[in-house]
Structure 1
Amino acid sequence: MDQKYRDAVQLIKTAILQSQYEATKSANEKQLMLYFGIGKYISLNSRNGQL
């Protein structure tokens, strides 16, 4: 294979992997925020006897 072709394929692979990593990181952050919000809601409302 031509070196330019191999370099192009590697560049594309790296871009895809980086994008997948960033998407996963973002999804995990959103999920943690959701769980934190749920926990906060439960905590505040259970202290006040509303749950």
Structure 2
Amino acid sequence: MALRNIDADAAFAALSAESQRTNRKLRTVAAEFVDSVSASAPEIDRPDAAPTS
């Protein structure tokens, strides 16, 4: 939603359309989207984060 600047209804509609277009379950499409966004997200220094070095 933040990446496309859309509300929850529009985000669900986009996921639903992709699910139907590719004939895959919506939860699979959503999980793949989250994985792809999470993989490209920058690391944020958090007090509870594990050390990276």
Pairwise same-fold verdict (TM > 0.5): no
TM-score of the superposed pair, with normalisation by structure 2: 0.35
More helix by share: 1
Larger Rg: 1
